[in-house]
Every structure is written in C-alpha cells, then in structure tokens.
Amino acid sequence: MKRSSLARSALDSDEARTAVSLVCAAMDVSLIVDHLGIIREVSCANQDLCGAIDGNCRWLGKRWADTVTDESRPKIEELLRDAAGSAPLRWRQVNHPSLQGPDVPIVYSAMKVGESGKIMALGRDLRPMATLQQRLVNAQQSMEREYAKLRHAETRYRLLFQIASEAVLVVDAATGRVIEANPAAAELLQTQMRRLIGHVLEDHFDADGQAALASLLAAARVAGRTDEQQVRLADGTREFRVSVSLFREDKSSFLLVRAAPLASGNPAAESVASQILELVESLPEAFVVTDEEGRTLSANRAFLDMADLSSEQQAVGVTLDRWMGRPGVDLSVLLAGLREHGVVRMFSTAIQGSHGTKTDVEICAVASPEGNGRCFGFSIRDVSSRLSGAPRREQELPRSVKQMTELVGRVPLKDLVRETTDMIERLCIEAALELSNDNRATAADLLGLSRQSLYVKLRRYGLGELEQADSAN
C-alpha cells in the first residue's frame, strides 16, 4: 500500500496528510487502527519486512492483537488504551510471528489521530539491532571462553611452576633482577623468596660464578639460549649447573634460568651400583621385577631364555602369571604373601615357555617398601635337574598301587577304582595344603574347589583335626 493513500485515509486536511506522510516515511511499519482495534491500513518501509510480517496484506481487517505472539497481546492492549485516553507517548516492543523464520521484533508507539477515533501505530524494525546484539553476545561469549581457557592454562602452568622439583627463575633481561622464582629455586640457592624476588641474580654467587652467569645472560640475549655452565654459591658451599634461554612477552625480554645441583654422590658408589645391575642382568638364575599387580617391569636374560622370549620388550607390561604353571593361582598366592609378609621363600611352581617348554622352578620373592611405585622382585631358580635326581617324596603312592593290584580278583573292579580315586584325591589335598602352607582358602583355589567342599573332603579322609585347628585360630 502506498504511503499517500494511508495519509489520505487517516486525516482530511492537507497539513495533517503532510504530517502523516512525513511520520510514515520515518517509520518501518505504519498502521491505522479503528476504535475496535481492527487494522484498516498497513504500510511497510520495504518489501522484505512486509513479506516477513504481513504477507500480501493479510493483516487488513484483523485485530491488531491477533497479529502478534501471545506474550505481546497485553502490550498491544495497553498501547490502544493509552492512545485512546491521550496518555503520554510510550514505545513498547512486540513480536510478530514471521512467515519466513524467527519472530520479527518491532517497537511500536500509538497515538490518536483525527476526530474519528482512529489510532495510528508507528513501528521500527528491531531485527538489525537484534542481529547486532546477538553478534555482541556471541563475541562476548567467545571472549569469555577464551579468557577461561587462558585462566585455566595459567593456573595449570602456575601449579607446575610451583611444584616443579627443578629450580626455575624468570629474570628481567634488561636489569638482571629476578622477576619470579619457584620454591625449588629458593631452596637450591639457600635463601628466602623475599630476598630473591627483585634482587640481582648474580649477587647469590661467588666471583667466578658471577662472571660465568653474566657471560651466560649476555650470550642468551644474543643467541636466545645457552649451554650449561657450572657456578658456585657465594659462600662456596654448593655448585650448580645453570642454563639460560630468552623469551619475549609484551615487547619485553626475559631470561628463563634453570639450575640444578651437581651430582654429589660418591663416584665409587655409583660405579658399584652400575656393576650390581650388570651382575643381575648376567645372573644364571632368572630375576624379574613387577609392579603391585604383577605386571613385568624388568627381566634379566636368564628369565627371557626360560620363557622363550627374544627381547625384554616382549615381557614388559605382561603379568608374570602368563608364564606360570598354574595361571590365576600361583601369582595370586605369591602376591598375597608379599603384601602380607613382604617376603616369600621356596615357592614351587613351573615356568611355561612361549614355545611349550616347561621348567620346574622355585621362587623367592621380596617386596620393596610401601609407598608410591612399590614393586616386587622375583628370583626364579631352575630345579628340574634336582627334582629328577632326588628320591620320590610320595613314598606311599607306589605301595598303594601295589596293594591295589594285589586285590585284583578278590575285590570288584568298581571298588578298586573307588579306592584308587580316594587315594589320589587325598594325596592331591595333602600336596595342596603343603604347597599353600596349610592355608585352606589357597589350597581350595589350587584344587579348584570351594572352601566348604574342601572341608567336607578333609573330614572324609580323617584330616578334620586340621580344619578344627584352623577354625579355632
């Protein structure tokens, strides 16, 4: 609809029509509403806005309140009431349902025109402002996210700086004064933090150390970083290795100084420790170090040969149970003993190689002191040759077999089988008890029985007094 027709329909005088035309030209939306709140004329500033809210003049003949969203209807009623009562002019924002997407926000002001009771509603499109506001909100949220990331990163690095065991100092490249230092630096330089921050770093070293440090700082300013240099405290009590690197921040240059004490250990002792490690590696007996869960940390050459492994890397990270003769049982017994007593002696088992070879072994194990990084050491001795040449321990088994064969013909076969089964079962239970050092729960695990089933068999074979003694304990 043309603006001129809107002006002519609103008022009759030339001055009034001119005034209305000027006002409509300044607004994005202009409406003429009768005293019943029904829209009689519509004018939009551009076709895009008209298509978004009106859509081919569908508002004509409708109540103004019906063209807005539900929450905006009370605002329309207030605008109409204020305009009819000649109240002071007020602007109210309402939302029109859009035909093309999100609701269209428009701020309206209404006034009574002429003597016919008609009301002119003038509105401005707030979509450009809403777009700018949304961009501002998005930019602010993005800045807040980036600031939060920087703050968290600064917190993490500040924490690392404070808890680092290495002495680290930040020095102003222009003045040579310490800007920042971590607690390890104050401890290493044997001074308090307040006597370190803001003071020249070179003052804490002797004459030679001052000269060496000054040379390092000068070289770092030119080359960006330096190699380690040895310096000594002013009192001559300690020597350090110092390295310097340059970095820039806010157009200023700073030097990152890292210091570490020289090794004060006995060279002879260090040589002996190295020789011990070489001897362990060359031991003819297998030696394995595991963590608290039994995962292999290190193994010597003898164990690799016993387990048919070509390199230590094949064993690292694998539980020792992988090569034991009774998987799931032997290692559990060993670890339980180590956690409880700290040492296990003469534990008999077998090592199963990767290619199927089996070696009878005896294991002695020891636990390191409790704390972070606790580990277990296992000394594994091959006893297969000793067992093959030793007299049989189970002296009763051959005699029992001979006795069984002498009963052939006098006792039914099913009775002989039952007696033989009972004899073997009893021998297995006794062996399990001996192997577990009379620990009923471990013996049950070795035999694959529940503890209650083991107690039943103990009473059956006349071993119930062991059960009673165990219950009494």
Of 349, 422, 354, give the one whose Cα is nearest residue 382. 349
Q: What pLDDT shows up at residue 423? A: 77
Structure token digits, residue 193: 């933090």
For 8, the 3-state DSSP assignment is helix
Cα(153)–Cα(70) distance, rounded to whole angstroms? 47
Cα(275)–Cα(194) distance, rounded to whole angstroms? 46
Of 102, 301, 81, give the one whose Cα is nearest residue 92. 81
Cα(272)–Cα(2) distance, rounded to whole angstroms? 104
Answer whether 170's CB lies under 8 Å from 255's CB: yes
Residue found under tokens 């939302």 = 95
Q: What pLDDT shows up at residue 100? A: 73
CA 392, chain centre distance (Å): 57
Category of 198 on φ-ψ map: left (φ > 0), alpha (ψ -120 to 50) or beta:
left
Answer whether 361's CB lies under 8 Å from 383's CB: yes
Q: What pLDDT shows up at residue 44? A: 80
Cα(305)–Cα(311) distance, rounded to whole angstroms? 9
Q: What pLDDT shows up at residue 43? A: 81
Question: Does an H or E element contain 180, and which?
Answer: strand 178-181
Of 196, 27, 9, give the one whose Cα is nearest residue 109. 27
Which residues are CB-contacts of 437 (< 8 A; sequence separation ≥ 6)? Answer: none
Residue found under tokens 């307040």 = 194
Let me know the angle formed at the C-alpha of 112 by 106 and 113, rounded to the nearest 5 degrees. 110
Helix ranges restricted to H, 181-266: 183-188, 207-223
Answer whether 404's CB lies under 8 Å from 419's CB: yes
Query: E strands within 237-342?
Result: 239-249, 252-261, 286-291, 296-299
Helix ranges restricted to H, 34-126: 47-53, 73-84
Cα(321)–Cα(96) distance, rounded to whole angstroms? 74
CA distances 5 to 42, 44, 57, 230, Å, are 10, 13, 14, 95
Model confidence pTM above 0.85:
no
Q: What pLDDT shows up at residue 252? A: 85
Q: What pLDDT shows up at residue 287? A: 93
Cα(192)–Cα(197) distance, rounded to whole angstroms? 9
Residue found under tokens 């164990």 = 303
pLDDT values of the chain reduced to their tens digit, one per residue, 473 residues: 334 344 444 445 565 556 556 666 667 888 888 888 898 888 887 777 777 776 555 788 889 888 888 898 999 899 888 888 877 888 888 988 887 778 888 889 888 877 777 888 888 888 888 888 889 999 999 999 999 988 888 888 888 888 888 889 899 888 889 989 988 888 888 888 888 888 888 888 888 878 888 888 888 888 888 877 777 777 666 777 888 888 888 788 898 888 887 755 455 555 677 778 888 888 889 999 998 888 999 899 999 988 888 888 888 889 998 898 777 778 888 888 888 888 888 888 888 888 878 888 999 999 988 766 788 999 999 887 765 554 444 444 444 566 566 566 555 777 667 777 877 888 888 888 887 777 888 888 888 888 888 888 888 777 755 444 444 44
Q: What pLDDT shows up at residue 402? A: 60
CA distances 225 to 229, 242, 243, 394, Å, are 12, 11, 8, 75
Buried b (16+ CB within 10 A) or exposed e, 410-445: eeeeeeeeeeeeebeebeebbebbebbeebbebbbb
Structure token digits, residue 68: 């807005």
Please compute Rg for the chain using Cα positions.
Answer: 47
Q: What pLDDT shows up at residue 366? A: 92
Residue found under tokens 């030793």 = 390
Q: What pLDDT shows up at residue 358? A: 86
Cα(227)–Cα(258) distance, rounded to whole angstroms? 11
Of 70, 64, 42, give the one whose Cα is nearest residue 55. 42
